[in-house]
Structure 1
């Protein structure tokens, strides 16, 4: 029983999880989502719009405002914008994954991230548990390919990396399993949008 407002997923489905503050969401996030659906063989992607990033000192814009913007940006039949971390009462990725696996038994989750996040994954709370709990799909972003591939996480889990055609079956591989893919990237950047004063949404904040 998931209740009103909880996304529906059936046992055996492969769901990609894209977490972040989305402050603000932009076309680059939507582009990464579409590429993840295509490259990793996912059934759907859920955006996890976080209440706040524990690694950032300054808090993001109000959650309702970020959710509204994200739903404007991400218009795809197999993608859903959620505030699941707020509903679950979790702030750290490892806690969120544990909670989702309890609530959705039989669903296969894949954690999605940009290459910049792989480069700093070793700073995350319980980061090794994340990789040991769910497959991880890494999508390259400009300027981060080398640092990501040489990161502590990439080195420690080097033998778990999938290559070539195996990447398509990432979500059905037992963890630890991860894949690094290069995709045509957009230059959209949340920090730049905030600095330029382009943080807008068509509903009242």
Structure 2
């Protein structure tokens, strides 16, 4: 397994996990440019709701759908590691036993970062019986048809989708997503544990209205200090401040 084990942050070496039995693994991918409290809230919610054994945070290497001025991958990886420290503290406080891994799988793979390639690689890594669930907001589900080989993803993973303000699924859904939900939607989160892949669980109990793009723009304003402290995990904010990012 290629999940990082950092001497600085003390991440557990997930290669030591016994993989001879099905595991419940959540995957939260993204540019994490920067990681924000919305990411942590979504991760915490699904770690608890799905009773995940492992949560992988996967910063993208070359996000092919994003603008060209994205922060370099290694810095975004550092920011994600730092945010993971705060997430681990939240899990400890809430007594959530989920292990956290910060994974380099997309950074170490050459070329554009396609989710389908990551899903295939993780399925191969964890085997055919592990429940792999890709965590996302409703905006990502609505944009799914723009992803590379999007219609193949459910052959490798489940989806757990959290509602987002201003992204009402019923009002904005295109026929392709309607058909996907008609075939794959499950109304019970517990079914994901029993299914390695192929299900979509919609969760309307969490509403997170934060985006990295909007946050980057806000950080360029005169209210930078207040905005940063309200929306960015403390350890990631320390790196952002030291490196003078997002000015």
TM-score between the two structures when normalised by the length of structure 1: 0.85
Structure 1 match to 2:185? 161
Unaligned runs of 5+ in 1: none
1:87 to 105, 108, 113: 108
Does 2:148 correspond to 1:125?
A: yes
- The aligned runs of 1:60-99 (5 Å cut-off) are 60-74=70-84, 75-76=87-88, 78-89=99-110, 91-99=113-121
Offset, 1:148: 7.7
Q: Point out the more displaced range, 173-182 or 77-86.
A: 77-86
Q: Which has the larger radius of gyration?
A: 2
Does 2:68 correspond to 1:58?
A: yes
The answer to whether the 8 Å contact 1:140/1:182 transfers is: yes
Structure 2 match to 1:47? 57
Unaligned runs of 5+ in 2: 6-12, 92-98, 229-235
The answer to whether the 8 Å contact 2:116/2:150 transfers is: yes
- The aligned runs of 1:1-205 (5 Å cut-off) are 2=2, 5=5, 7-8=14-15, 9-11=17-19, 12-74=22-84, 75-76=87-88, 78-89=99-110, 91-106=113-128, 107-146=130-169, 150-157=173-180, 158-163=182-187, 166-197=188-219, 198=224, 201-203=237-239, 205=243
DSSP-derived class of the 1:137 partner: strand
The answer to whether the 8 Å contact 2:61/2:109 transfers is: no
Cα distance in 2 between the residues matched to 1:138 and 1:149: 15
Q: Point out the more displaced range, 141-150 or 111-120.
A: 141-150
Offset, 1:59: 4.1
Offset, 1:4: 6.5
Cα distance in 1 between the residues matched to 2:106 and 2:82: 20
Q: Point out the more displaced range, 107-116 or 4-13.
A: 4-13
